[in-house]
């Protein structure tokens, strides 16, 4: 069974969501604003959490910064929904963009890193005595998180650079 990518992209393009974003003058700008706010929530919270886990901001306890991950999750949800809107507005342009493809790959890798954090690291951190440093594995997960989200951020800014001219 082969997947007809061109037909699939055309179907996404022709959805009500795609049509609305292309035809309502304020829709794309609203999505951009929401995407930026979600990004601020996601990256802002993860910078604080990850840097604390690596060993910075020691005046803040680990248990105090861990709830910020829920703000990051809310930001991620906002970005996912607005990103779906962007994609639906012009799926062929996004699909053919190498920066977009790499960005999606980094988001998937960051998601796996988050899953590892939630399944393995959070329990260890909550069990740490007050003032104790996380182990090396937790620090690696935090450093990886910083690198992956920074890559997602940079690739998002590079998306317009790699737009192919329409045929």
Instruction: Provide block-wise average pLDDT over 10 residues at a time, the chain (167 residues).
Output: 89 96 96 97 97 93 95 96 97 95 97 94 92 93 97 94 71
Q: Which domain holds residue 129?
A: 5-161
Distance CA(142)–CA(103), nearest Å, equals 19
- Domains contained in the chain, number: 1
Is 81 a domain residue?
A: yes
Is residue 60 included in any domain, yes or no? yes
What separation in angstroms does the CA of 152 have from each of 22, 37, 55, 89? 25, 15, 23, 20
Cα–Cα distance measured from residue 126 to residue 81, given in angstroms and rounded to the nearest whole number: 31
In a domain, residue 27? The reply is: yes
Q: Would you say the pTM of this structure is higher than 0.95?
A: no
Judge whether 15 lies within some domain: yes
Contacts of 142 (CB under 8 A, 6+ apart): 49, 50, 51, 53, 54, 134
């Amino acid at each position: 069974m082969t997947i007809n990518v061109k037909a699939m992209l055309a179907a996404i393009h022709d959805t009500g969501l795609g049509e609305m974003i292309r035809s309502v003058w304020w829709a794309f700008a609203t999505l951009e604003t929401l995407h930026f706010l979600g990004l601020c929530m996601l990256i802002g919270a993860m910078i604080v959490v990850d840097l604390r886990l690596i060993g910075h901001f020691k005046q803040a306890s680990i248990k105090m910064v861990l709830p910020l991950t829920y703000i990051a999750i809310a930001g991620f949800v906002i970005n996912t929904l607005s990103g779906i809107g962007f994609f639906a507005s012009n799926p062929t342009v996004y699909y053919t963009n190498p920066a977009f493809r790499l960005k999606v790959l980094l988001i998937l890798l960051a998601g796996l890193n988050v899953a590892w954090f939630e399944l393995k690291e959070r329990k260890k951190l909550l069990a740490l005595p007050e003032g104790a440093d996380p182990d090396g594995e937790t620090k690696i997960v935090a450093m990886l998180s910083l690198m992956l989200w920074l890559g997602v951020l940079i690739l998002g800014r590079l998306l317009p650079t790699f737009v192919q001219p329409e045929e």
